[in-house]
Amino acid sequence: MNCIKIRFGNDFERLGTKLSIEEMFRAMNPMFTLSERTWKPPMDIYETPEEIIILAEIAGVDKENLEVEINSKAVKIYGRRTEMPRMKNATFRLAEIQYGHFERVLFLPAPIDTEKVSSSYSNGFLQIRLTKLPINQIYQVPISDE
């Protein structure tokens, strides 16, 4: 199994992250937003010799607010997570859960058969199973006279 190398460090001052005006105000008061927020749910992609499996963590998204589009080279997952009702007389002390529109386009490591796709949604996880096209398959091309 191939892995992506991730370098960890403790020199965060060197990174030089810059906050936008909206992010500064949101940090002070999570109720403040200038526009519709977008977010990117975390996802995993697994590959076996026969298929590609995508696992998306999208807890709190209703199936009715979830869309999946596929072609032989990519998968697009998008939807919306609506905010939970706010408690009256409550002050936010921490607001990390992201709401609003999300979209991810994942380019696949191998071509897939768009006719052989299955998906399931359980416990906040969307799983998509994509059958890979056979690589060694040979196609005969008929030659016409004109």
Decide: pTM greater than 0.75: no
3-state secondary structure of 52: strand
Structure tokens at 42: 């975390």
> For residue 81, what are its two tokens?
């997570």
pLDDT at 59: 95
Q: What is the chain's mean pLDDT, rounded?
A: 80
Integer CA distances (angstroms), 133 to 2, 60, 74, 112, in order: 21, 33, 14, 5
Q: What percent of the chain has pLDDT over 70?
A: 75
Bridge partners of 114, per DSSP, are: none
Averaged over successive runs of 10 residues, the pLDDT of the chain (146 residues) comes to: 44 48 54 64 95 96 93 92 86 86 94 92 95 81 86
The pLDDT, as a whole number, for residue 131 is 95
Span 35-85+97-136: which CATH code?
2.60.40.790
Residues 6+ apart with CB under 8 A from 120: 126, 127
CB within 8 Å of 25: residues ≥ 6 apart: 32
Q: What is the pLDDT of residue 65?
A: 93
Count of residues in the chain: 146
Q: Are 81 and 99 in contact (CB under 8 A)?
A: yes
